[in-house]
Amino acid sequence: MSVIGTRLPRREDPRLLRGRGRFGDDISAPGQLWARVVRSPCAHGRVRALDVTPAARAPGVTAVVTAGDLRPGLVIPVRLAVPGVDLRDYLQPVLARDTVRYVGEPLAVVVGDDPYACEDAAELVDIDIAEMSAALDARDGDTAAELTAGYGDVDAAFASARHVISIELAIGRHTGVPLEPRCLLAVPDPDTGSLDIFGMTKVPVFNRDLLAGLLGMDETLIRVHGVDAGGGFGVRGEFYPEDFLIPWLAASLARPVKWAEDRAEHLMAVNHSRQQYHRIAAGFDADGRIAGLADDITHDNGAYFRTHGVAVPELTVAMLPGPYRVPAYRGRIRAVLTNKTPCGTYRAPGRFEGTAAREHLLDVAADRLGIDRIELRRRNLLTRDEIPHERPIKTLRTDLVLDVGDYPALLAAAAREADRLGYRAHASGGGPDDPAGRKLRGFGLAMFVEKSGLGPQETADVTVSKSGAVHVYSGGTSVGQGIETVLAQIAADALGVDPVAVRVVTGDTAAQPFGAGSWASRSTVVGGSAVHQAATAVRARAVQLAGRMLEAAEQDLEVRHGWVGVRGDPSARVTLAEIVRAAEPASWHLKPGEPAGLSARRRFEVSHMTYPYGAHAAVVEVDPATGQVRVLRYLVAYEVGRAINPTLVEGQLRGGVAQGIGGALFEEFSYDDAGQPQAISFIEYRMPTAAEIPPIDVIVSQDAPSPGNPLGVMGAGEGGISAVGATVANAVRDALGLAGGVGELPLTPDRVRALAEQARRGDGPGGGAA
C-alpha cells in the first residue's frame, strides 16, 4: 500500500477544531506563580536608578528580580554562528543593567500569586533613565557586521555591459504574528532537581541544552514538552531572555512559574525582521542577458544580535542571484544596530527581501530594454542542462549547489495557467465596481529559488507496541504545519499499515533527546527522511522475525495492512502485534545478543540543502485617488519534488501568500523621533483579514524529485511567501505605469498616492539606466 501522495485529512484538526488543543496558556501547575516583565520605556539611555522596593512590598508579590540578582555578563548566545563574524559585543543581556537600547528591553521581573497583581506591581517600579539620542536609520549607522558573497569579475561585467540598470528598494520592518503570543511555564521538582518546561517550540533540544548551560544543570534534568503553536514563522521558539528568566525563577523559588505576554508586549519584544535597504544593479548584453549583478544592502538589525546572529543578512546575499544564469555577482550587506526591537528570522528570511529587489529590478529592466517581462526571465533562467549548478558561495555552513530542476518549464507552466485563468486579461480591463474607470489594474510576476532541508541531522525513533500501534518519536516540532500527519503517512507507507495506527510525538526532549527541531523548511525533508529510515529498518526487522515464526524465506514474504505473510498464502501470516509479542526478552525467536522488541532509531544526516523553486503571479487593482491596492487574484506554481500530502502543501502555500500580502501592503513597524514604537496593537499594526486575501490558485509540481533524500521531497513551508513582495510590487508598478521602481514596501495608501502622482508627472522613483 502507499499513503505517500494521498490527501489524508490532518490528524491534528479534530482536537484543534473542538477546542482541545494544548497551547502554552492552556497549561498550568498547582501552586504556580506568575511573572510580569518590566520593560524599558525608553529607546536608548543610561539607567541611573531602578527602585523595585514599592513593587516588592505590593500585595501578592513574591519577588522582584533585576540584573543585579543575576550572574554578571549573562547574555543570550548566537545559535547560528557564521565563521569569521564576531558578535560578542552585540549580544542581548538577559536583563539590562546600565544601558537600555530599545523600548521593551527587559529591566526586571515581578513574580507573584496573581497575574493582575504582578501587572499592578510592575507599574510601581521606579525607573530613572537618562535618555540618549536614538539611532533609527540604519543607513546612517555604524556597521556591526559586514558580509560579502559573490564570484566573477563584476566590475568588468558592468564595464562591458550594453545596458546597466539600477533601482533602490526599501523593505519595511514587520514580523510573524502567531495566533498565540509567547507563553512559558517552568515546573521544578525539588526532590530530583529537575525542570519541566512548557511553551518552547521550534528547537526544544537546542533550547534545553542552552538553558542547562546557563543554569549549570545536567541537561537530562530538563524536559521540554511539546505544545501546540498557532504558527511558528521564525519568531516562536527562539531563545529569548524570558526563556532563561522563567526557568531560573522556578528553580530559585522552588515553585512553578508561568509567564504569558500580551499582544502589545509581543509586538514590541518578539523578533522583528525584514528591514533592509537595497541598491541593486544589473548589467545586460545586447540580447538582454545578464552579464553581472550587484547589490549593496543595509540591514537594520535593531538593538542586538539574537540567537540567529547574521543568518538573515547571510541568506540575503547568498540567495540573491536566484534561479538565473549570473556570470558575475557581488552582494555586500552591512548589518547595522539601531535602537529598535532586535531582529531575527521570519518565514523565508532573506529570500523575501532579496527576491523583491532582484525581481523588481528585472521588471524595470524589461521595460527599459523593450523586452517582455516573462521573456527576459526566460532568457536568463538556468536551463535543465545547467543543473546541478554550483555557486562558490556558502550559506548556513553549506555550499550552495542548486541540485535539481527545470526552471524554464515551471515559468512556462505558470504563464500558461495565468493566461488560462485570464490573469492578463483581467489586468487590462476594468472592474464592475468601477464604472467611471478611475481604478487601474496591473499584472505582476516573479521567479524565485528557495532553500530547504538544512542539516546537519535529524533523529527519529519508530517503535511498534504489543497492540500493533506504531509510535514515532521525532525531533521535529509542531508549529501548525501538519507534521503529525506527514510523519504518520511516511511511517505508514514504509511499514504497510493504516496511518490511523501511527501515533506521532514531537517536541518532547525526553521522547527524542537528539532532535534538531522544525525550522528552515526541514521538517519533512530531514525529519521525514529520518522517520522513513527508522520505519524501513523496523519493517526489515519485522520481516526477519516473521520469517522465523512462519519458517519461511524472507524473500517470500510481503508486508501489507499491518501483517507480514507468505506471498500467495493467506493462511500464513502474522500481525505486527504478534511479531512484537514474539520478540519479548528470552523469546526463542531471538538469537543470542539480539535486542528485544520491534523498534529502530535512525539519524538522517545532511551535508547540502535542497532548493525548491517557483513562480508567482498576481492581478491587482489600484485606486490612485485613495492609494488603496486590492489583490484580485494570485497564482503560485511551486516545485516540491514529491508531495507527501498535496493538501498540506497547498495549505502551506496559500498561508504564505496571505502573510506575504501583509508584508507587501499592510504590515509595518514605525517609530517616532524618540524611538517610541508606533505599532503596538492591531489598530496600528495592520494585518490582512480574509477580506484582503484573494482567491489563490496553486500548481504543485512534482517533476524534480530531490536527489538528496530518500523521499525526493523539498520543503514547502516558505514558497508561498518568498516572492509576494516582488509580485505585488511588480503588479502595482504595472498598474501605475511607473518608469522606475516603487521604492519601498509595504505599499501603503500614502506611498501609492505619491507613486501615482509621480507616474502622472512622469518622474517615477528608484530607477536609473546607462
Confidence band for 762, pLDDT divided at 50, 70 and 90: confident
Mean pLDDT of 629-658: 97
pLDDT at 14 over 90: yes
Confidence band for 66, pLDDT divided at 50, 70 and 90: very high
pLDDT for residue 763: 67
Query: Residue 298: in which H helix or E strand, if any?
Result: strand 290-300
pLDDT for residue 767: 52
Mean pLDDT of 551-570: 95
pTM assigned to the model: 0.96
- Of residues 333 and 435, the one with the higher pLDDT is 333
> Which three-class secondary structure state does DSSP give residue 679?
coil
CA 242 to chain centre: 21
pLDDT in tens, 399-426: 999 999 999 999 999 999 999 999 999 8
The count of other CB atoms within 10 Å of the CB of residue 546 is 26
Residue 245's φ and ψ, nearest 5 degrees, are: -60, -45
Residue 586: DSSP 8-state: T
Confidence band for 80, pLDDT divided at 50, 70 and 90: confident
C-alpha cell at 34: 506568575
C-alpha cell at 240: 529569548
> Who contacts 712 (Cβ-Cβ below 8 Å, separation ≥6)?
641, 642, 705, 706
CA 596 to chain centre: 40
Mean pLDDT of 523-551: 96
Mean pLDDT of 685-699: 97
Distance CA 472, CA 530 (A): 10
Confidence band for 764, pLDDT divided at 50, 70 and 90: low
Mean pLDDT of 497-517: 94
pLDDT in tens, 491-501: 999 999 999 99
pLDDT for residue 292: 98
Residue 595 and residue 729 in contact, taking contact as beta carbons nearer than 8 Å? no
CA 662 to chain centre: 15
Mean pLDDT of 14-18: 93
Residue 473 and residue 512 in contact, taking contact as beta carbons nearer than 8 Å? yes
Distance CA 740, CA 734 (A): 10
Domains (range + CATH), the chain: 24-133+181-228+236-269 (3.90.1170.50), 276-453+608-765 (3.30.365.10), 455-605 (3.30.365.10)
pLDDT for residue 185: 98
Which one, of 208, 261, 239, 213, lies nearest residue 306 by Cα?
A: 239
pLDDT in tens, 208-245: 999 999 999 999 999 999 999 888 898 987 899 999 99
Mean pLDDT of 337-345: 97
pLDDT for residue 344: 96
pLDDT in tens, 441-468: 999 999 999 999 998 999 999 999 999 9
pLDDT for residue 265: 96
pLDDT for residue 367: 97
Mean pLDDT of 614-629: 98
201-205, 372-376, 617-621, range with the lowest pLDDT = 201-205
Exposure letters 286-301 (e unless 16+ CB within 10 A, then b): eebbbbbbbbbbbbbb
pLDDT for residue 520: 83
pLDDT for residue 768: 54
Strand segments (E) across 337-429: 389-395, 398-402
Residue 631 and residue 690 in contact, taking contact as beta carbons nearer than 8 Å? no
Strand partners, 61: 112
pLDDT in tens, 92-133: 999 999 999 999 999 999 999 999 999 999 999 999 999 999
Distance CA 477, CA 141 (A): 38
pLDDT for residue 15: 92
Mean pLDDT across the chain:
95
Confidence band for 519, pLDDT divided at 50, 70 and 90: confident
pLDDT at 437 over 80: no
pLDDT at 86 over 90: yes
Cis peptide before 705 (omega within 30 of 0): no
pLDDT in tens, 377-388: 999 999 999 999
pLDDT for residue 511: 95
Residue 544 and residue 555 in contact, taking contact as beta carbons nearer than 8 Å? no
Confidence band for 753, pLDDT divided at 50, 70 and 90: very high
pLDDT at 770 over 60: no
